[in-house]
Amino acid sequence: LPSRLPKVGTTIFTVMSALANEHKAINLGQGFPDFDCDPALPEAVYKAMRDGHNQYPPMTGIAPLREAVSQKISALYGHHYDPATEITITAGGTQGIFTVIACAINPGDEVIVIEPVYDSYIPSIDTVGGTAVPVQLIVKRNDDGDISGYEIPWDAMAKAITSRTKMIMINSPHNPTGMVWQSADIDRLADLVRDTDILICSDEVYEHMVFDGKDHQSVARHPELAQRSFVISSFGKTYHVTGWKVGYVAAPAHLSAEFRKVHQFNVFTINTPVQYGLADYLKNPDPYLNLAGFYQQKRNYMRQGLEQTKFKLLPAPGTYFQCVDYTQLGIPQAKLNSSDFCQWLTKEVGVAAIPVSAFYSDPVESGVIRFCFAKKESTLAEALKRLQSI
C-alpha cells in the first residue's frame, strides 16, 4: 500500500509510555493524570446506563450536553453558541481537530501551523491532501542565554499567508510549552485575518488550566474571530478522564453544518451514557473553575523540586506541562539530542519525559523536554527525588 503518511511512525506519546512501562519508569511523558476523577462523575454515567440511556444518541450529541456546553461558554467567554446548530460532541479533541480539517481543507489548501505543534495537526492536514505551512514560535532568551519564554511569530505568519491559505491553527494554552495567548494576541490575530476568508482552528483543550490569576483568551471572546473559528475542547483534560475520549467543537452554524457532514461518517456520534453523565456533572461550574488552582499548586510543587536540580525551568503559565532545558546539567548526556536524552532519562534515571523536538516537522534542537505534572504529589515527589540525584 502506498503510504498516505510515509513520514509518520507511532506517536511520541505512545512510544514514551511504552518505554516507561518497559523500564518501570515514572511516566511524566504522555499527558494524563495518575489520579482518579471525582467519583460523582462515573456515578452519573452508571445512573444513565441504569436509566436505559444505552442506544444511539443524536448524531450531534445529546441536547442536555450541548446546552450545558453552550451555557458554560456564554458564562465564561460571553459568546452564545446555539446548542442545536453550533455545538457538536466529539470523540475527544483529536477527533474534533481531524474532522475540522477534513471538512474544511481541500487538496492544495494551505494551513498555517505554529511549531512546536501538537503532533496530530500536520498528519491530519496531510491525510486530506492539504499543505501544512509551519512557522516557528520565537524563543526568547534572557541575558544569561536561558529560555525566558516564547512569542508568537507574527511577521512569519503574515509572510506565510498566500492566496491558498485556508486556515490557521492555534493552541492556547499551548502544548508543549504551556504558553498562553494574551488578549492582545487575539486582537492581533483578528487584524491578521481581517478582509480574508481564512478560518481559525483554535485548540483550547487546556482552557481551564491558566495560572497566576490570568484568564483564558478564547477566540469565542472575540466576535469577529468567533465567526470564522472552530473552537475545540476536551472533557478528558478538564475532568481527569482522558480515557473517556469526549470533547466538543463549537463553531458558527455555517461551519458546524459542514463539520457535522463529515462527523456523521467519521464516528457518527459519541457513546450515550458518558454524555448524560457529563451533562449532569457540567451543571456545577466548581470543578472547572477550581481546576486552575488545583494544577497551579502541582506546578509550583514541581518547580520547587526542579529548582533543586541543574535543569533550567521554562515559564509554565498554563497546561499541565513543565518544560525544562537540560543542556546545562554538566553531565555527558546533556549533549545528547532531546530524543536520546529522554530515552536515557527513562531508562537510567527512571523518569519519562517528552522531547520538544518531536513537535517540529524538521526537528529543531533547543535542548528542551516536557514533563507532565498531572500526578499525585507522591508520584511527583519520587520523580523529583530521581531528577535531583542526577
Q: Closest residue to ligand GLN, Cβ-based?
A: 31
Q: Of 219 and 353, which CB lies nearer to ligand GLN in the complex structure?
A: 353
From the CB of 50, what's the least distance to ligand GLN, in Å? Answer: 31
CB 90 within 8 A of CB 269: no
Using the minimum distance from each CB to ligand GLN, give the nearer residue, 175 or 177: 175
**Least separation, in Å, of the C-beta of 368 and ligand GLN?**
15
| Minimum CB distance to ligand GLN, residue 28 (Å) | 10
Residue from 207, 223, 231 nearest 76 by CA = 207
Query: Is the CB of 167 or the CB of 205 nearer to ligand GLN?
Result: 205
Nearer to ligand GLN, 30 or 202 (CB): 30
Would you state the cell numbers that stand for residue 108, as one nine-digit string? Answer: 492544495
Q: How far is the C-alpha of 69 from the C-alpha of 247, rounded, in Å?
A: 10
Smallest gap from Cβ 120 to ligand GLN, in A, equals: 7
- Output 175 or 338, the one with its CB closest to ligand GLN: 175
Nearer to ligand GLN, 81 or 98 (CB): 98
* Shortest separation between residue 175's beta carbon and ligand GLN, angstroms: 5
C-alpha–C-alpha distance, residues 197 and 109, integer Å: 12
Chain residues that interact with ligand GLN, rule: CB under 6 A: 11, 13, 30-31, 175
Distance of closest approach, residue 174 Cβ to ligand GLN, in angstroms: 11
For ligand GLN, give the closer residue by CB, 110 or 207: 207
Count of Cβ atoms closer than 10 Å to residue 272 Cβ: 20
Instruction: Give min distance, CB of 359 to ligand GLN, in A.
Output: 9
The nearest distance, CB 116 to ligand GLN, in angstroms, is 11
Q: Which is nearer to ligand GLN, 292 or 356 (CB)?
A: 356
As measured in angstroms, the least distance from the Cβ of 142 to ligand GLN is 27
CB atoms within 10 A of CB 230: 28
Nearer to ligand GLN, 31 or 273 (CB): 31
